[in-house]
Structure 1
């Protein structure tokens, strides 16, 4: 074969090889330039992340636990009770006492919703009894405030009886003892408290409670503790053993309150038994087996 033909064949073969190589390189480049899908851009994964996650968050946020709900109701009951006690400190009109009664009622209804599984259940049951007694007192005060004229007449009548008894006692004193001279003073005349030698029923009951060892537990900021003292009167209540349970009060004895397991104020201890809440003089007379004059003014 001539040399020129062999050279031409070789050149053709090289040209074919070069053309194939360029084509393969280009195809390889084209294939490598196609972007492959990545997990980050997958629409399926993205949909799951943006739909299911907020649902779980929303469900958790919109489903409060039972324990939190029970605790909130117990706290609301205490707030209503504090409000009732605060208003009672200055209550005078029937509307005032009606508001006090309403606040106690609200507190009671909230406490009744506390379930047995709540850690506050036992305390709630004790406070229901205490608040019911406070509400009854508020309702009683509302009735008294609604009839000021009638109440004034009763008080005036009791004072007149006391005045007449004093005159009778002075008249029965032996000669040589100074007596109050006869007088024609009207019924509205009132002797000075320092001139009366009588022991009032309130004072007699207080002395009796002292003799049997009764104890009154209270705190200085409690409005019902204050009203309990007012029912007796300052002179009579001074005879009763009174324990201040708040460390910030006057002459406090909190250790005595802790030893007696006092949980509410006021609380009476009579014959070894605890009686929480403010009590009428008639109740105290019955609980202490008082046998004296029970014609109390309050």
Structure 2
């Protein structure tokens, strides 16, 4: 059985690598995975990162949810897919000036990374300066170790990337990040989302309760046209809302990643309402 929440990193070369190469490389990958997790709307502590001991110049990174919930458990698969996508576009010398979802999609399809959610998430995370800096730093780390001749990345025992050390400097320079930029203390993340209604409040400014990607949230609704529909449309627990969802992210210095402010979820616009009855038997959150 294949494990999509796992990837294998291999350092090529005949000699031993420096211990700092391994530890620093892993730490930067871990921080990128936390950034990805934040982009997906989860907290850093929702994810467990496991690393196997090095064997024959390689080690395995495995991502999994700390919970048993099957929906949350899928964040490992998606997080690894996004990490692979980020490494792929950076190694292809795509920079912030010419990145588009379409270009990312084409590149990932060629590498058989077919998850339809990945290109958009990869593009969003790539535009986060901190994520690019950390991946660029991993190439600086391996470039500084003269014992490393190449870097290979595998998924499901199949080679995903094979980068010769002669390409390291070119990849580093392509990102045009020569020094660490100041990271924003907070920002607002806004995108399209599908929410499952848990609790409805028809009066006042009380927040509605929802399930978002398997995770309970409360959100205020700012769409005035939506409230006009409440008199003519039936809403039930379990109904789906397709919305434009915003939330604030605050940068945590200790974790070196953005964390979602759980009190900041806001629905800017409701795009579509689907009743529970219409969706019974065909609900798919993947």
Relative contact order (alpha carbons < 8 A, sep ≥ 6): 1 or 2 greater? 2
TM-score by length of 2: 0.22
Q: Could you tell me the TM-score, scaled by structure 1's length?
A: 0.21
Pair member with larger Rg? 1
More strand by share: 2
More helix as a share of residues: 1
